[in-house]
Amino acid sequence: MTAAAPSLDVVAIGNAIVDVLAPSDDAFLAEHALTKGGMQLIDAETAESLYADMAAGKEVSGGSAANTLAGLAAFGKRCGFIGQVCDDQLGEVFAHDVRALGIRYDTPAAKGDIPTARCLILVTPDAQRTMNTFLGASQFLPETALDLELIRSASILYLEGYLWDPEQPRAAMRAAIDAARGAGRKVAFTLSDGFVIERHRADFVELIEQGQIDILFSNEHEIQALAQVDDFDRAVATFSGKVPVLVSTRSEKGAIAVVDGLRYEVTAAPVAQIVDTTGAGDLFAAGFLAGHLEGLDVHHCLELGAAAAAEVISHWGARPEQDLQALRAKLFG
């Protein structure tokens, strides 16, 4: 039986997080034994202690996959999100922000004492962001919370590697992959961070080897960690023949994509001033996927990703502030 035509462009599963961004310096990071530019998981007690020591900041809804959907929605794409908040104030903030973007969000809020997730992001003057994440309710997303019909209704299922770490969401994402592939849809996966790869490399390699991933997103360090080599080109070659579309960002060196064995490259888009690199990879994925959905050639997809990433690093926060449709028009007319 032929699957029905998709009614949505992308449905994503990811952490439902509220970001708290604040300026910092290297001395503060050292005082709190934080690895600059990295991401660590923290417990509720550490989250409270670190939050109390942080400078005044800005609270905005975040989460890697949700940020990507925010970019896609800004490009005019039809999106849905699956992720769990608690029935608390931050949970209401997150749900309101996502729905205000026109993104469908129906996942029931969890009841109980485990609060909505939050990510404490310290931004140093060189625009590096050091993330400290308390996963809260998001890490207990159960398989029963999935809307399988919603997943089957989208052209692409987009999965956030960060959420692979907890057991319950991992099981939910496996079920989501089965539903998407059973409906003839594509599955996109972002590796998210080195620590996730360190803990779940075998799972990710197995998904790739089994042909479960159609579009793989990474940065330079993540793809090398996945391949367990120190050379970027060797890492790309390890997996480029195993996924139809492999995309890897390289910060100021631009980005590459390998599609059906052909390699494409773009330079980084110019930025007047880099303010905050939070969300750069998320918005790159948004731009690339927007172009991919529109049938643009691979080079143009990369350019759109680079432009979206450049927009988000030019200001605080991981959600776009400029009109991305206008940005696209400026690029391609």
Q: Are 63 and 14 within 8 A, CB to CB?
A: yes
Residue 274: inside a domain? yes
φ, ψ of residue 17 in degrees (nearest 5): -125, 145
pLDDT value for 1: 42
pLDDT tens digits, 243-275: 999 999 999 999 999 998 999 999 999 998 998
Instruction: Please give the pLDDT value at position 268.
Output: 95
Position 35 in a domain: no
Q: What is the pLDDT of residue 3?
A: 66
Measured CA to CA, the distance from residue 49 to residue 216 in angstroms comes to 36
- Looking at the structure of the chain, the number of domains it has is 1
Per-residue DSSP letter, 318: S
pLDDT for the residue numbered 79: 98
The rounded mean pLDDT for the chain is 94
Q: How far apart are CA 326 and CA 232, in angstroms?
A: 34
Strands (E), 161-254: 186-190, 215-219, 245-249
Q: What is the pLDDT of residues 171-203, one digit of tens each?
A: 999 999 999 999 999 999 999 999 999 999 999
- Whether residue 304 contacts residue 288, with contact meaning beta carbons closer than 8 Å, is answered with yes
Asked whether residue 187 is assigned to any structural domain, the reply reads: yes
Nearest to 121 by CA among 62, 33, 199: 62
Q: Is residue 145 part of a domain?
A: yes
Spans of the chain, pLDDT less than 70? 1-3
Residue 43 lies in a domain: no
153 occurs within a structural domain: yes
For residue 175, give the CATH number of its domain. 3.40.1190.20
The verdict on residue 122 lying in a domain is no
Q: Which range marks the domain in which residue 314 is found?
A: 8-15+63-113+136-332
Residue 301 belongs to a domain: yes
Amino acid at residue number 287: G
